[in-house]
Structure 1
């Protein structure tokens, strides 16, 4: 059995009544246990790409799709959205739009009920998913009584309880304060412990660089870069052309090299930067 969680081949998509394709010849592969960060300017096609990965495009949101998307070796063009949803979970930008039940335990049970999960198994999964997102003991609380970061963690727990092998998060931290953002990324990191695959769309390049294994840069529907955080975020000139930011420490090293004519290796985290400076002066 292949270790490929997602494979995208020559994916092109155009919405009805539009003149231009929103996605243009997209190609990449993501393996189980990897976390992918998708970055790009507004209107680059990031959310459309995410919806292609769970079958909402083009089965629910119509348009002309060419190319192939394989999720766990299943072609989304030949698989129903219901079947894909058993493997791919989706967390949206605003968690309150996903929350509809009176208590937290009822919220997590709702999705499992739609899948026909037995009651005893539901109880076990509710407990496990709350532990995974740090909300143990909150079972009887109202979702509306939670902070923004806690609501987002609840939305994630509700998806995780359905046991998807792939989790997609579309800008889950844009409405959160720094504490809430850290909470969401800590949960994202925990996915790896369960060999789950994570895909996150976000503008938080500092966190993306720290938590993600692969980075995909989209602009005007095209892949401009794909690789490890180091491979992508050290392409400073490309990022500048796209009006995207590199992590602050990467930008600092880049300017340091230019100003002092040095050759310190560009790094994407503070720890890597310290090692780079030590190598430069030893």
Structure 2
């Protein structure tokens, strides 16, 4: 096994007929089993970066690319997109764009069929994937009969069944209500427990803080911060300079310190925030 699940070195990418690169000298790496959150304003280059990791850029989406992207030790540019799909699963923002089959079990089987997975193995993988996302018993239902959160979980199951070692989710909760968001992030937690490596792009900073080991902050195509989740989100000054907000509890503690001249240690979780608050106020 390669030392790192993902290694990105000096990555710069420009779309055709553009004056400025959308990604500028990107460097970071992820260990096996880690979950990375990518945040940044709209247009920062988050989705482009994710597509560089699974090979869609520049093999399907053309442009000029410099630097290297390695997945499990192999350079992405030297593998086809089809080959990369065996290592990197990709879940998009709108699940209905990924769903095309008549039943849920057919949907989960579709990608495996393209990979040539034997039918007996398919059955085992379908059962396992649906169990991981909480859709056991839904096999014969139509994907169109599911709620938004259930459809996104089905899209995740279809990718899981292909047994990639890395899962990328590009704003998977942006179209969902709070219940649907919780459903998807519960699945993300299961993936971490299962030992998979993950990348999630989202504006839900509370959830990113709670579920991700590390956070990468992009702004105008450049990495502004890359560190453990709490280290990033407690750097309130830097977050605000980048027109971003930290989790609400972190913002509250920062505002309290400024208003009352206190020095409560900032935290991204309510439980730790209460402990920190009480230690100062005793």
Common fold, TM-score beyond 0.5? yes
Segment of structure 1 superposing worse, 81-90 or 99-108: 81-90
In structure 2, how many angstroms separate the alpha carbons of the residues matched to 1:89 and 1:129? 13
Structure 2 counterpart SS, 1:125: helix
Once the two structures are TM-superposed, the CA of residue 275 in structure 1 deviates from its matched residue by 2.1
SS in 2 for 1:176: coil
Ranges of 4+ aligned residues in structure 1 off by more than 3 Å:
none
Deviation at 1:235, TM superposition (A): 1.2
Aligned to 2:199: 199
Counterpart Cα distance in 1 of 2:2 and 2:95: 33
Aligned to 2:18: 18
2:92 paired residue number:
92
Shift of 1:37: 0.7
Q: Once the 2 structures are TM-superposed, how far is the Cα of residue 134 of structure 1 from its aligned partner?
A: 0.4
Give 2:181's aligned residue. 181
Match of 1:36 in 2: 36
Q: CA deviation at 1:224?
A: 0.6
TM norm structure 1: 0.98
Q: What whole-Å deviation, never above 9, does each CA across 1:213-257 have from its counterpart, x for those lacking one? A: 110100000001111111101111111111111100000010111
What SS is found at the alignment partner of 1:264?
Answer: coil
Q: Find the residue that maps to 2:262 and give its secondary structure.
A: coil
User: 1:158-214, CA deviations, whole angstroms, 9 ceiling, x for partnerless residues?
Assistant: 000000000000001000000000000000111112210111100000111001111
Map 1:236-275 onto structure 2 (within 5 A).
236-275=236-275
Deviation at 1:278, TM superposition (A): 3.1
Contact kept in structure 1, 2:148 and 2:180, CA below 8 Å: yes
Q: Distance in 2 between matches of 1:157 and 1:280?
A: 46
| 1:62-97 Cα deviation digits (max 9, x unpaired) | 100000000000101212211111000000000000
The size of the alignment, in residue pairs, is: 282
What residue in structure 2 maps to residue 278 of structure 1? 278
Q: Which runs of 5+ in 1 are unaligned?
A: none
1:201, 1:280 → 2: CA distance? 35
